[in-house]
Amino acid sequence: MTRIEHVHRENRLSLIRLGFLLTGSQHEAEDLVQTAFAGAQPRWSEIDQPVAYLRQVIVNRAKDAQRRAFRAPPSPTEAITHIDEIDETFAAILELSEMQRAVVVLHFYEDLSLVDIATILDRPASTVRSDLNRALTHLRKAVS
Amino acid sequence: MNTTPAPDDTALGEHLRRTLRTVAETITDNGQAPTSDTVVPFFERPSRKPARKNIAIAAAIAVTGLGLVAWNTFEDGEIERIPTEAALMQGSTEGFDWWLIPSAAIGHTNPCGVAFPGVELVSSSTNKPGQEWNTGGVNYGLNLLDEQAPEDGTFTYDCSNPQSEFDETAWSGDPTLMNVGFTRLGRNNDPDSPWGAFAAMHPTIEQINVIVDGNTIDTIDTVTKTDEPSGVRYAGFTIPSDACTFRLEYLAADTETPVLSKTSTIC
């Protein structure tokens, strides 16, 4: 059994980065990760694949948080990388719906298959594929 | 499933990978991670507003007027796990796993912190770790808030003497009184999802027939909460996704004839 402090030490940064890509906010990403670990700690011994579990919690909480807030999609006003084409593309990603954004991030950043993404998001794989196709259509226009 | 992007998407895919990787690498750790395996962190939740409880009367049939006798709840409480060990009934329908679980085991309470006395139908599909609870539930008994509810339905909770607002004993003399509710096992707006339905009824009702389109599709042995073996009885069951109504026949222990036939409209 991998100890929680070891998983925290080895994966905290990568999970925050995942949260940031999903929310566009480092503060919110750090909250998501902290909340995920806090929720997992009391029953750590029951979790078979802690990193996969934490990732699922973060993805789903990121979606829920945005639905709760009834807010517009995050849109950073400041350049992040100061590489225009990168910043513009990321801004376009943040314009996607939370579901499409999650699919894009999980597929192109986490390199997960659509079947694995379907499991995380609890959507049929065919629906995930439609989400991805719609997202790519939007992004293709945005970056062209 | 084919996960290979179409040829014209290859360049876009590579661009997205580079974008996401480059953006992610701008995020650096602020040093909160422990530096050694010997450090045992305590993961406190970030401070947040008090939990918001938003209970909406939905898909409910009540024999009394205004009370929250059956409800669907979307609560700002993170799901850590479904307490399946507390389930009174469970099933799997069209790939959806579901459990009928006492509200107390889930931790759902009224605004005074008193656990609801009834049960909730929990679908694994819509209650994943990290999500908010999305359940349908039902209580039994006279809702004391009905006695004080003004016509506009605005309830007042007096938390100076916290107690349940449901008086189950008030219905002990009438086995025809019951509450029924239902919720989608899948997403709430998915017309292809079967329904999960639930009922709370008199302690003498040991069995119910579930009737759809004139056909009895199920006969359910009702159950009690484990700590109240002589108490209120509950049932969980499923209804096909395309059904518009269902009817329940409540069969009392001491008679072969239904004590009530109740039709519920769900479409």
Q: Which residue of B has its CA nearest to A10?
A: B33
Q: Is A103 exposed, middle or buried (0-12, 13-18, 19+ CB in 10 A)?
A: buried
Residues near A93 by beta carbon (within 8 Å), at least 6 away in sequence: A21, A101, A104, A105, A139, B16, B19, B20
Tokens standing for residue B2: 């084919």
Instruction: Name the residue of chain B whose CA is nearest to A7's CA.
Output: B37
Average pLDDT (B161-176) is: 84
Helix ranges (DSSP H) in A50-97: 50-69, 84-95
Considering only CA atoms, which of B195, B212, B201, B192 is closest in space to residue B168?
B201
Contact B3 A113 (CB under 8 A): yes
Task: Please report where in the chains the tokens 């450090």 appear, as a residue.
Answer: B39
Which token pair is B66?
């205004």
What DSSP line would sit under B186-230, residue for residue? S-TT-TTSPEEEEEEE-TTEEEEEEEETTEEEEEEE-EE-TT-TT
Residue from B33, B238, B237, B48 nearest A15 by CA: B33
Q: How far apart are CA B31 and CA B200, in angstroms?
A: 52
Task: Return d(Cα B80, Cα B129) in angstroms, integer.
Answer: 5
| CB-based contact B185:B239 (threshold 8 Å) | no
- Compare CB distances from B23 to A36, A42, A80 and report the shortest one's residue: A80
Check pLDDT > 50 for residue B56.
Answer: no
CA distance A85 to chain B (A): 8
* B101: helix, strand or coil: strand
At B195, phi and psi to the nearest 5?
-95, 145
- Cβ contact A57–B129 (<8 Å): yes
- pLDDT by residue (tens digit) across B225-253? 999 999 999 999 999 988 888 889 887 76
Q: How sure is the predictor about B147, in pLDDT bands with cuts at 50, 70 and 90?
A: low
What whole-number percentage of chain B has pLDDT above 90?
Answer: 31
Of B55, B82, B92, B47, give the one whose Cα is nearest residue B71.
Answer: B55
B30, A23 in Cβ contact below 8 A?
no
Please list the pLDDT of chain A residue by residue as tens digits (144 residues).
567 888 888 899 999 999 999 988 888 888 888 888 877 877 788 888 889 989 998 998 887 655 444 334 444 546 777 888 898 999 999 888 888 899 999 999 999 998 889 888 877 888 888 889 889 998 998 887
Contacting residues for A134 by C-beta, under 8 A, at least 6 apart? A100
Radius of gyration of chain B (CA): 23
> What local confidence, expressed as pLDDT, does residue B122 receive?
93
Picking from B24, B40, B44, the nearest residue to A21 by CB comes out as: B24
User: What's the CATH code, domain A75-144?
Assistant: 1.10.10.10
Q: Which of B41-50, B130-139, B218-227, B240-249 has the highest mean pLDDT?
A: B218-227
Residues ≥6 apart with Cβ < 8 Å to A59: A18, A22, A102, A106, A120, A121, B130
Q: Which residues face A51 on adjacent strands? A: none
Region(s) of chain A under CATH 1.10.10.10: 75-144
Coarse DSSP helix, strand, coil percentages of chain B, rounded to the nearest 5 percent: 15, 35, 50
ipTM score assigned to the predicted complex: 0.91
Distance from CA of B130 to the nearest CA of A (A): 4
Q: How far apart are the first and last CA of chain B?
A: 34
Instruction: Among A122, A127, A134, pick the best mutation site for testing chain B contact (most B Cβ within 10 A).
Output: A122
Question: Whose CA is closest to B118, among B207, B206, B208, B225?
Answer: B225
**Between A53, A114, A140, which is nearest B3 by CB?**
A114
Look up residue B229 and give its two tokens. 């073996």
Of the CA atoms within 13 Å of residue B38, those in its CB half-sphere come to 0
Give the model's confidence band at B254: pLDDT under 50 very low, under 70 low, under 90 confident, else very high: low
At a CB cut-off of 8 Å and minimum separation 6, what does B153 contact?
Answer: B66
Mean pLDDT of B43-52: 40
Query: Which pLDDT score is estimated for B31?
Result: 46
Amino acid present at A27: H
Question: What beta strand segments (E) does B48-146 contain?
Answer: 53-56, 60-61, 70-78, 89-93, 96-102, 119-123, 132-138, 142-143
